[in-house]
Amino acid sequence: MAFFLQNLINALQWGSFYALIALGYSMVYSVLMLFNFAHGDIFMTGSYIGFFVASGLIALSATGTVAMPGWLILLLTILISMFLTSFVGIAVERIGYRPLRGAPRASAAITGLMIGIILETGNLALLGASRKKFPDLIETQTFTFAGVSVTNTKIMIVAVSLALMLALHLFIQRTKWGMAVRAMAYDFFVVPLMGVSINTIAVLTFAIGSALAAAAGILFGVAYPILDPYMGILFGWKAFVAAILGGRGSVLGAALAGFLLGFIEIFVAIIFPSTVRDLIAYSIILLILTFRPHGFFGEAYSAQLRL
Amino acid sequence: MTSSKSGVRQWVSKTWEQFTTVPMLGWLLGALVAAILENLVGNTFARLVGMSKAPVLFGFDIALKTPLLIPSAICYVLVIYLLPVFIVARALRDPLNKLAAALLKYPIVVSAIVHLGVLYAALHIWSSLNDYRALVVKLILIAVILTLSLNVVNGYMGEFSCSHPGFMALGAYTASVLSVLFFVDGSVFGDALLPPAIGPFIFPLILILGGAVAALGAILVAVPSFRTRGDYLAIISLAFMFIVKSLIENLEIVGGPRGFRGQPDWANLPTVFAWTVISVWIINNFVRSTMGKALCAVRDGELAASSMTVNTSKTKMIAFLFGAFWAGVAGGLFAHVLRYVNPSTFGVQKLAEVLAMVYFGGLNSVVGSIFGAVGFTLLSEALRALELYKWIIIPVLLILVMIYRPTGLIAFREFDVSAMLQPKHKKEKEVDDAAASS
């Protein structure tokens, strides 16, 4: 039981990265019906931005002008990086997606893919091939309840990601902007006629998705402090699959599917050798999609796609 | 100033007019002569203009590594390649027009074989100068097969498939295992089961089996994803690609993540060239057939096509398996060209590359795919000297192509072989114009 609970907590942590990234895919997909293939690399960029912001804040704190405790630096890092990374998302939208609004959908997928490659290579060219180590911001403490050991970073990661998901949920459901996003997801031909600009909403979804990816990137850096330019590829593609598994444009579905993917991966790695993790995870996803082709929460739609 | 400019322009257009009536055969013969010339005097001329030896790939590598040699590289390309091509094309224009017309009196296959023979000779002589060129030519030819096979799915069928690296991996590993199992004495599977001497003759069969296994894999993707229209093919095929990669990584018998080596050296240039020609011919016939037209109808409106008696699910299934088959064949060739395969080759990177070639060249077009595969591979080899920055320049180029031509550079164009092989008489054209105007 303790063993199970232990892995459950690991899976919650692992799944929250997927869930946060999957939300970004899902947001963009719900509004524009396009895949943002650069999203995994936005996650990577967010993580690097977080690294620089954190390093800067630590340096600032060390000079003594404004002494800050570790948790405050972490909080500020998350907020500032989310803000900065949202501009990366906006840039991706402006360069890769807006000029292709009337074009076949696959073309926008290609531009997204190419922007992702540019972000990876640009990072490699600017910062060199050496990996960066994310600074330690909070001291790791381990609590033990009934044989289950929990570190405070794990609790923090799960709590922050759940809080962000809740905030997104409230934003989508309770605010006027959220209503515009939902309406656009419902029908992006008619809603622009009601005076809601698709360009504004598209920018908004890209910005929110990128901010969430940045948060995921920083949380990832806290948990696994080694950053490298290609870290976004693996996470990005898996989270993309999770977003689809959750159902088209469903925030709740994407979050749940992200956690599910985390659970599958952690528990597969316990039972089987870890090399077959991807094999089994993707096979399970394939099975689920075979029987529930619209994902968990996606409604069936028969819109004529502009491919 | 303006008058001189227009004068230059006039001169250019007038000179170019001389060449508009050169038939395809003329250009190919020109290329052949240029290749022979390079073989004879390439190195000598290169030393004359200050380079240590003949540039490998049209001087790009030299120009990017040592910018001071750019003038010599340009000079080399002008004198060794462009000048002979244009001189031969112009000089032999009239006899070759007559020859092309004479060839067309026989079935078109005869003319096509003559053209392909000249093209092959030029390629062979050009690539015989060093091993790197030979490798690049083979990789380009394989890329042509791969791009065409993906274009059948992403272009003609209008779905977004991500599983081509997976199909390629299936074909590559099946073909490698078969050829090593049956025809190689060695480390992995023990002694050869059949005499190695007959191997090259069985090689086509092995490639076809590799393609067939890829097509079997395609059924796994197609069955769940064709039930609903939408993006599910993209997701399921993506999952399939990762499954195949992970499966091979976990199969210790084929080397797991370390890869599989020891394939016999059967994929020489004539073999690869022949397979490419066959695949272009078959795929071109497929997309121009009734089935291909039905496929386009399904893409443009599944409901409408279905009401016009097109069996949509059967059409899509056949096209998808067809595309997967050729991807498998390309994979088998790829494995035998490099004589080493590694599961990590068939990952997201390969996917991005194949997709880039298809969308760069143009959807729904065999010419576009050939152009995309050749152009993209040449570009990525030419920019090799830039190392890292290559992967910034190529994506930027591709984004620009997508923004200004969202369906690719040469999209929606039929590959009409007979029009390509026609003699180009100016007189006939004038007569036609006169007839049209009257």
Q: What is the ipTM of this complex?
A: 0.88
Partner-chain residue, chosen from A106, A125, A301, that has the shortest CB–CB distance to B160 = A106
Task: Give B242's contacts in chain A (Cβ within 8 Å).
Answer: 237, 278, 282
Q: Give the pLDDT of residue A136.
A: 84
Q: How far is A255 from chain B (nearest CA, A)?
A: 18
The pLDDT confidence band at residue B432, using thresholds 50, 70 and 90, is: low
Q: What is the mean pLDDT of residues B200-218?
A: 94
Both B191 and B149 in one domain: the answer is: yes
pLDDT in tens, A29-71: 888 888 888 999 999 999 999 999 999 998 888 887 777 888 8
Tell me whether residues B392 and A104 touch, CB distance under 8 A: no
Which of B96, B126, B156 is the last residue in one of the domains?
B126
pLDDT digits (tens, 9 = 90+) for A202-240: 999 999 999 999 999 999 999 988 898 888 888 888 888
Is A260 a member of any domain?
no
Question: What pLDDT sits at residue A307?
Answer: 31
Highest mean pLDDT among B14-18, B209-213, B294-298, B339-343: B209-213
Please report, for the domain that includes residue B160, its CATH number.
Answer: 1.10.3470
CB contact under 8 A, B224 and A305: no
Contacts of A301 in chain B (CB under 8 A): 230
- Band of residue B1 on the pLDDT scale cut at 50, 70, 90: very low
Query: Sorting pLDDT into bands at 50, 70 and 90, what band is B331?
Result: very high
Identify whether residues B392 and B299 lie together within a single domain: yes
Tokens encoding B110: 């005869």
B373 and B330 in contact (C-beta within 8 Å)?
no
CB contact under 8 A, A104 and B232: no
Are B147 and B254 within one domain?
yes
Task: With a cut of 80, say whether residue B190 has pLDDT above it.
Answer: no
Q: Are residues B139 and B256 in the same domain?
A: yes
Mutate to test the interface with A, among B249, B258, B403 (most CBs of A within 10 A): B403
B327 falls within a domain: yes
Residue of chain B whose alpha carbon sits nearest to that of A112? B399
Among residues B200, B202, B181, which one has the least CA distance to residue B192?
A: B181
Quick check: A125 contacting B, CB < 8 Å? yes
Q: Write down the pLDDT at residue A303.
A: 41
- Regarding whether B407 and B344 lie in a shared domain, the answer is yes
In a domain, A240, yes or no: no
CA distance B269 to B241: 29
Q: What is the mean pLDDT of residues B222-227?
A: 81
Among A101, A279, A285, pick the best mutation site for testing chain B contact (most B Cβ within 10 A): A279
Q: Is residue A135 part of a domain?
A: yes
Residue of B234, B242, B399 lying closest to A114 (CB–CB): B399
Q: Are the beta carbons of A293 and B238 separated by less than 8 Å?
A: no
Closest CA to A269 of A5, A2, A1, A10: A10
Neighbour count for residue B419 (Cβ, 10 Å): 9
Question: Looking at beta carbons, which residues of chain A come within 8 Å of B160?
Answer: 105-106, 109, 307
Going from the C-alpha of A24 to that of each of A61, A111, A122, A242, A256, the distances in angstroms are 32, 17, 22, 11, 14
Which residue from B232, B243, B355 is facing A293, i.e. has the nearest CB? B232
Beta-ladder partners of B340: B261
Q: Do A111 and B158 touch (CB under 8 A)?
A: no
What Cα–Cα distance (Å) separates residue A27 from each residue in A20, A213, B140, B417? Answer: 11, 12, 39, 47
Q: Report the alpha-carbon distance of residue B344 to residue B350 in Å, rounded.
A: 9
Residue A285: its chain B contacts at CB < 8 A?
239
Sorting pLDDT into bands at 50, 70 and 90, what band is B341? very high
* pLDDT, mean of residues B166-186: 91
On whether both B193 and B217 belong to a single domain, the answer is yes
Residue B436 clears pLDDT 80, i.e. is over it: no
What is the distance in angstroms between the Cα of B194 and the nearest Cα belonging to chain A?
35
Chain A nearest CA to B208, separation (Å):
27
Which of A286, A288, A305 would you mutate first to test chain B, the one with the most B CBs within 10 A? A286
Domain check: are B323 and B182 in the same one? yes
Q: Are residues B101 and B174 located together in one domain of the fold?
A: no
Mean pLDDT of B282-287: 94
Residues of A in contact with B228 (CB under 8 A): 293-294, 300
In a domain? residue B432: no
Contact A117 B352 (CB under 8 A): yes
Write the pLDDT tens digit of every residue in A184-207.
887 778 888 988 888 999 999 999
- Both B237 and B344 in a single domain? yes
Residue B146: pLDDT band (50, 70, 90) is: very high
- Report the mean per-residue pLDDT for chain B: 87
Tell me how far apart the alpha carbons of residues A216 and A21 are, in angstroms, rounded to a whole number.
7
Q: How far is B387 from chain A (nearest CA, A)?
A: 10
pLDDT at position A160 over 80? yes
Q: Examine residue A247 and state whether it is found in any structural domain, yes or no.
A: no
Give the separation between CA A87 and CA B142, rounded to whole angstroms.
Answer: 41
Task: Tell me if A214 is assigned to some domain.
Answer: yes
Residue A28 lies in a domain: yes
Boundaries of domain holding B265: 132-419
Q: Is the pLDDT assigned to residue A267 strictly greater than 50?
A: yes
Q: What is the pLDDT of residue A298?
A: 65
Q: How confident is the model at residue B435 (pLDDT cuts 50, 70, 90)?
A: low
pLDDT tier at B97, thresholds 50, 70, 90: confident
Question: Could you give the angle at the alpha carbon of B337 between the alpha carbons of B332 and B340, nearest 5°?
Answer: 80
Instruction: Tell me, yes or no, whether A110 lies in a domain.
Output: yes
Is there a single domain that holds both residue B233 and residue B377? yes
Find the CB nearest B352 among A107, A113, A276.
A113
Chain B partners within 8 Å of A304 (Cβ): 301
Which of residues 257 through 286 in chain A touch B, CB cutoff 8 A? Answer: 275-279, 282-283, 285-286
Flag whether pLDDT at B332 surpasses 50: yes
B94 shares its domain with B238: no
Lowest mean pLDDT among B128-137, B268-277, B329-338: B128-137
Q: Is residue A161 in some structural domain?
A: yes
* Average pLDDT estimate for B384-395: 87
- Work out the pLDDT band at B3, boundaries 50, 70, 90: low
Name every chain B residue with its beta carbon within 8 A of the beta carbon of A96. Answer: 399
Residues B219 and B186 in one domain: yes
DSSP-derived 3-state class of residue B261: strand
Q: Which of these, A227, A223, A222, lies nearest to A73 by C-alpha position?
A: A222
| B262 touches B184 (CB < 8 A) | yes
Confidence of residue B176 (pLDDT cuts 50, 70, 90): very high
- The whole-number pLDDT of residue B437 equals 52
- The whole-number average pLDDT for the span B290-296 is 91
CB contact under 8 A, B406 and A282: no
pLDDT at A302: 39
Q: How many domains does chain B have?
A: 2
**Contact residues, chain A, for B301 at CB < 8 Å:** 304
pTM for this model (two decimals): 0.89
Determine the residue of chain B that is closest to A285 in CA distance.
B239
Average pLDDT of chain A? Answer: 87
The model's pLDDT over B47-72, given as tens digits with 9 standing for 90+, comes to 888 888 888 888 887 888 888 888 88
Q: Is A183 on the interface with B (CB under 8 A)?
A: no
- Whose CA is closest to B136, among B269, B332, B331? B269
| Residue A301, phi-psi category: left (phi > 0), alpha (psi -120 to 50), beta (remainder) | beta
pLDDT for res A177: 92
- In chain A, how many domains are there? 1
Count Cα neighbours of A31 within 13 Å in the Cβ-side half-sphere: 33
Q: Which domain holds residue A146?
A: 18-231
Residue ending a domain, choose from B126, B149, B172: B126
Tell me if B235 and A244 make a contact (CB, 8 A cut-off): yes
